[in-house]
A = this chain, B = another copy of it.
Amino acid sequence: MQGAEPKPSEELILNAAVKVFTRKGYAGARMEEIAKEAGINRALLHYYFRDKETMFNIIFETKFKEFFTGMFGVFQSNASLTEKIRSIIDHEITVLSKHPDLARFVIMEIAQQPDRLIQFGQKLGFNPRMMLQNFQKEIQQNVQEGKIRPIDGRQLLMNIISICIYPFVAKSIIKTMMQMDENTFSDLMEKRKKDAYEFIINAIKP
Contacts and interface: CB of A to CB of B under 8 A. Distances in A.
Given A24-B27, A108-B108, A151-B195, A167 B158 contact: yes
Contact of A27 (B27, B104, B158): B27
Interface in A156-206: 156, 158-159, 161-163, 165-167, 169-174, 176-179, 188, 191-192, 195-196, 199-200, 202-204
Nearest to A158: B167
A12 interface: no
Contacts of A110: 172-173
Contact of A107 (B27, B173, B176): B173
A114 interface: yes
Copies in the complex: 2
Given A25-B108, A158-B192, A166-B166, 9 more contacts: A117-B173, A132-B178, A151-B195, A158-B163, A158-B174, A159-B199, A161-B170, A166-B169, A169-B169
Interface of A: 24-28, 104, 107-108, 110-112, 114, 117-118, 128-129, 132, 149, 151-152, 154-156, 158-159, 161-163, 165-167, 169-174, 176-179, 188, 191-192, 195-196, 199-200, 202-204
